[in-house]
Homo-oligomer: A and B are copies of this chain.
């Protein structure tokens, strides 16, 4: 499998399937794991880091779950490919800088990916379409169990899994759910949601994780606490709270239909008209307008576009995806033209 092959098909998590896919884009679970007896990445020298990379490679080769997957080195990879993998949510933005000794395992469906030598030796990720945290957990738990049979993880009976940053210690687990909350955003309720979930051990961030701005009304909710509870407790708690947010988004969308139908349909149809007409469009504007169309599909206004095509457009219009589709490096200005062209073409 070559990275370019990924472009030809849609990631599993973009399919717009899975429970509550009209509000929840995707569910992700990741586990932070480190090899016993090896210094953490930030304390390790080059030799030790390379040894970790080697150990991960051998682990992959022995794994049944990772059989069809690819082992990639970040070093030597073109910038555009790194950016492409970040846009597809297969690795973190942090993993693409200082590529020395860094690796990435990805499976064909893009459900499973493992970053090697990011902050921890291994960051295992499972990404599912829709509201599917428990299914993601089931998959990652199986992979983790299999991997642990062929290596020794750094583990303390008292603290659980040991991690480079103490905030990840214990289960090493982070569940993240990417929500599309246009109704709560338009009615200025996101601040309230943020305050409420912060008190409940969860956090809310933008589209590409830590430190990124929420764009197009997409938000990631993750657990902050990793220690003192079982994985099932942590994810169950998260599911319960997110179900309440989903219900709130749902009822606000319904309120639009019953009370502000004209106003919201005006917003949605204007976005539709602009996307179908613009000749120059930035990535940021694209995301906000597609966000409104996505709401329009859910509310039944927009009938000529399906959820999967929409989800794909969010990714395909990102800079690296656009350039890989065009098979050349484009200036920011040229990208804005090509992006508008691609959108018009796909919405025709």
Contact = CB atoms under 8 A, between A and B. Distances in A.
Contact of A274 (B262, B274, B279): B274
A202 interface: no
Nearest to A333: B262
Contacts of A269: 277-279
A273 interface: yes
Contact of A276 (B273, B275, B337, B340): B273
The bracket for how many chain A residues form the interface is: 10 to 19
A11 interface: no
A51 interface: no
Interface in A165-179: none
A100 interface: no
Contacts of A262: 279-280, 337
Interface in A259-284: 262-263, 265-266, 269-270, 272-280
A180 B262 CA distance: 32
Contacts of A276: 273
Interface in A324-341: 337, 340
A278 B263 CA distance: 10
Which of A263, A265, A279, A337 has the most CB atoms of chain B within a 10 A radius of its CB? A279
Contact of A278 (B266, B277, B337): B266
Contacts of A340: 266
Interface in A79-101: none
Contacts of A275: 273
Nearest to A264: B279
Which of A262, A265, A273, A337 has the most CB atoms of chain B within a 10 A radius of its CB? A273
Nearest to A281: B266
A150 to B, nearest CB: 56
A198 to B, nearest CB: 37
Contacts of A266: 278-280, 340
Contact of A277 (B263, B272, B280, B337): B272
Nearest to A263: B280
Nearest to A261: B279
Contacts of A272: 277
A337 B266 CA distance: 9
A262 B272 CA distance: 20
Given A265-B279, A273-B275, 10 more contacts: A262-B279, A262-B280, A266-B278, A266-B279, A269-B278, A270-B277, A270-B278, A273-B278, A274-B274, A274-B277
23 contacts: A262-B279, A262-B280, A262-B337, A263-B280, A265-B279, A266-B278, A266-B279, A266-B280, A266-B340, A269-B277, A269-B278, A269-B279, A270-B274, A270-B277, A270-B278, A272-B277, A273-B273, A273-B274, A273-B275, A273-B276, A273-B277, A273-B278, A274-B274
**10 shortest A-B CB distances, which residue pairs?**
A273-B277, A273-B273, A266-B279, A269-B277, A266-B280, A265-B279, A273-B274, A270-B277, A270-B278, A272-B277
